[in-house]
Amino acid sequence: MLQLTMSRLFFYVPFLYLYHTRQRSLRKLLSWALVYLIPACMLALMQGGFSLRTLAAVVLGAVLIYDFYETGYIQNDTETIKREKAPSMRLQPDELAYYERNTELIYGWRLLLGAPLAVGLILLVPHPCPFVVAALSILVVYQFYNSVRSRWNLYLYVLLITLRYCTPQLLFIEQLDPALLAASFFAYPLANILERASFPKFRIGFMQRLIGGKEGIPAFRIRYYAVLLVITAAIALFDDGFDLRICLLFAYYLVVRILFRLLNAPGKGMFIYYK
């Protein structure tokens, strides 16, 4: 019997689980949109061109990615915690109980939902296979990521964050600009990975010194994007064929990070999105 209420829809509807367990505030949701969703979708549209058709494909692609990505979140928050000594509890006891009663339904629905989304992409783009394969690989990588708790998690996280951010561009594989794809890795996945490597649990001393702990992350982000912008702007000055969209990408992140820093009063927490 289907035991589904409105308060449990987050197990089944893409993006709701993200909000319920990771965001839970308008400020964090806005941060996630500005740092991940908007630039990831815009980069995909830069590759495929701006039209209603490509926009629809990007929207469906984003839903498919998060349908699978949240499946990994769910497994982490319900199964992985059983093997941890001091797990981060993101679900309430009654929500965990609901999961235990409906485990097969939850995972089955998440996988089943991918089918109509994939069919929609087949109708919208000529070659959706590279994107679909990359999206499916999120599920595979998460199986390993949720099975280990060591420095290997950091290496697997590299794959997860790159797949989540860069995969939408694969929707338009025929028009794919490798330089823009590479720049997108520097724009978000690499910065995110460096921050994560500085976490004390990974015990990477030079990364902790480079970034300066959690309190040093906002300043590190500004320095990081400022350096990338200066480097790419210098290249653009001497190379007429350099793609100026790359400069604009780094400039966007620099402006966003500066604004976030200004919006955060000392000691009031950080306007950030980690994952």
Give the burial string for 225-246 (b: 16+ CB within 10 Å, else e): bbebbeebeeeeeeeeebbeeb
Which pTM value belongs to this model?
Answer: 0.89
Instruction: Pick the range with the lowest mean pLDDT from 118-127, 142-151, 241-250.
Output: 142-151
Predicted local confidence at residue 189, as pLDDT:
94
Average pLDDT score over residue span 13-21: 94
Predicted local confidence at residue 197, as pLDDT:
82
Angle at 150 between CA 145 and CA 153, to 5 degrees: 35
pLDDT of 273 strictly over 70:
no
Question: Alpha-carbon distance 220 to 213, whole Å?
Answer: 10
Predicted local confidence at residue 154, as pLDDT:
84
Residue whose C-alpha is closest to residue 220's, from 173, 258, 263:
258
Query: What pLDDT, in 10s, does the model give residues 56-81?
Result: 999 999 999 999 999 999 999 999 88
pLDDT tier, 265 (very low <50, low <70, confident <90, very high otherwise):
low
pLDDT tier, 2 (very low <50, low <70, confident <90, very high otherwise):
very low
pLDDT tier, 191 (very low <50, low <70, confident <90, very high otherwise):
very high
Question: What average pLDDT does the chain have?
Answer: 89
pLDDT tier, 4 (very low <50, low <70, confident <90, very high otherwise):
low
pLDDT of 131 strictly over 90:
yes
Please answer whether residues 149 and 82 qualify as being in contact, where contact means their C-beta atoms are separated by less than 8 angstroms.
no
Q: How far is CA 197 from the centre of its chain?
A: 16
Predicted local confidence at residue 5, as pLDDT:
55
Contacts of 220 (CB under 8 A, 6+ apart): 194, 195, 210, 211, 212
Share of the chain above pLDDT 90, in %: 69
- Which two structure tokens, joined as six digits, stand for 219? 């300043």
CB atoms within 10 A of CB 142: 23
Q: What is the DSSP string of 54-108?
A: HHHHHHHHHHHHHHHHHHHHHHHHHTGGGG-SS----S-HHHHHHHHHSHHHHHH
Predicted local confidence at residue 200, as pLDDT:
74
